[in-house]
Structure 1
Amino acid sequence: MIPSEEKQYFGCDTPCKSDEDYEVQSDWFTSEFLNDITCSGIPNHRLTLKVGVPVMLLRNIDQANGLCNGTKLQVRDSGKNIIKASIIDGKHAREMVFLPRMDLVPTDSGLPFKFSRRQFLICLFFAMTINKSQGQSMSKVGLYLPRRVFTHGQLYVAISKVTTKRGLKVLILDEDGKPSSTTLNVVYPEIFECL
């Protein structure tokens, strides 16, 4: 729905030479196989962007200048090898930054081998998980709960991210998928017994 021209960026995936099975991997693992791998914390092989879309940084690049894991940005211009973006909120709001492609090796991919992906360290950002919101403070939060929050303290974390009561909207669905006005706050008192 954003009325600018779409641009696609493709990553470059290669088996890691430091892996002990590198010789076997380079024969078995084709580019197509590596390109299809998606892991938490690394960008997808194919990244489709438009000027104006919101994106989120996936790793710490320059903490002193506000480029941390979870930083929200808006694409301002997209070149062949660099993306110009502005920081959306926080201490560095409205500052322009330039994002290069970088090499990244997934640290916890669950895969029995290591590979490297060269890509922009961003993903499209229209929503975030409760865990990703930790450490952030926002003026408006919409909380979508299609099922119960199941981890100790997670509901508190989600609700405490908003700076005012007025900025919080919550949509809770019951087991039948119908809107509800209540949900359970999961708390395990046993956790506090040994403190």
Structure 2
Amino acid sequence: MQMYNINSNDVEYMETRALITPLNEDVNNLNEKCMIMFPGDSTTYYSFDSVSDDNHNLYLPEFLNSINPGNLLPHKLTLKRGCPIMLLQNIDPKIRLFNSTRLICRRFGRNIIETNILIGHFKGLRVFIRRIPLKSAEDYKMPFELTRKQFPVILSSALTINKSQGQTIGHVGIYLPNHVFSNCQLYVALSRGVSAHTTRVLVKNYVIEGHEGVFTKNVVFRDI
């Protein structure tokens, strides 16, 4: 808590720290816990959901808000000044605002979020994020097409191992509540940090029959 109070406005500090874990569910839980630790009041944004050609208003807003297709943004987004976020869409290739770009929140308007880029050549550049409309994927089995207008970001104090690929993180915490489940995922997690001294691993389910100590399985598909 004290470290967030001191460093919540420090781009260098936030850039070099992240937690990574295999599953989205654990990422969401970690991000919520980290966000609570940031000082100051939170700002919550709710999406605007609609259904095309719903002339008779068959679908109530409360029902649409409760739907969470995998490719859409969350209905409720809660942020604080200084918390790190990550883009989920390509916004502006000229300044490398791509999917997975990390930013830090600065100020919140009614329909805009002021941020600074956290990584890369344009680190520190001030950018403004607006709401964008996204449609539900065709393979998500619904009798209608849902359009959700929301800010294309999520909290990024914690990332999935897959989302962390290609990033170098100065201080990385690897949270493994269960054994990793896909090919070379453990290698990807362990290679995000810059050294063993700045990499910490927490393994919850560490018992492997016939071995004493703390272990996690390294899943490797030999055929691949």
Bucket of the pairwise TM-score, normalised by the shorter protein: 0.7 to 0.9
Question: CA offset at residue 190 of structure 1?
Answer: 2.0
Q: State the 1:48 CA deviation.
A: 1.8
Query: Is 2:96 the partner of 1:66?
Result: yes
1:41–1:59 Cα contact (<8 Å) kept: no
Match of 1:183 in 2: 216
Amino acid paired to 2:67: I
Name the residue aligned to 2:8: none
Residue in structure 1 matched with residue 39 of structure 2 by the alignment:
3
Compute the displacement of 1:38 (Å): 1.8
**CA offsets per residue over residues 37-80 of structure 1, 9 Å max, x none?**
12334321122222222211111111331211111111101011
Q: CA 1:72 to 1:109, structure 2 compared with 1: closer, same or farther past 3 Å?
A: farther
2:76 corresponds in structure 1 to 46
How far, CA to CA, are the matches of 2:186 and 2:38 in structure 1? Answer: 32
Give the superposition deviation at 1:27. 4.0
CA-to-aligned-CA distance 1:108-142 (integer Å, 9 cap, x gap): 67232321111111122220111111222222211
Report the CA distance shift for 1:62/1:36 in structure 2 as closer, same or farther (over 3 A). Answer: same
Structure 1 residues without counterparts, runs of 5 or longer:
none
In structure 2, stretches of 5+ residues that fail to align are: 1-36, 208-212
Following superposition, the deviation at residue 175 of structure 1 comes to 5.7
Matched letter for residue 37 of structure 1: I
Q: Which runs of at least 4 in structure 1 moved beyond 3 Å after TM superposition?
A: none
Answer whether contact 2:43 2:80 (CA < 8 A) is retained. Answer: yes
For 2:138 and 2:102, the matched residues in 1 are separated by 23
The residue aligned with 2:130 is 100
Q: Which has the higher contact order (CA 8 A, sep 6+)?
A: 2
Q: How does 1:1-195 map to 2 (within 5 A)?
A: 1-17=37-53, 27-107=57-137, 110-112=140-142, 113-174=144-205, 181-191=214-224
Q: Which amino acid aligns with 2:173?
A: G
Post-superposition offset of 1:83: 0.7
Moved more, 117-126 or 75-84: 117-126
- TM-score (normalised: structure 2): 0.73
CA contact (8 A) 1:145 1:171 kept: yes
CA–CA distance in structure 2, aligned partners of residues 153 and 82 of structure 1: 39
Query: Root-mean-square deviation (CA), in Å?
Result: 2.1
CA 1:3–1:108 in 2, change beyond 3 Å: closer, same or farther?
farther
- Identity among equivalent positions (%) equals 39
Cα distance in 1 for residues equivalent to 2:49 and 2:187: 39
Helix, strand or coil for the counterpart of 1:128?
Answer: strand
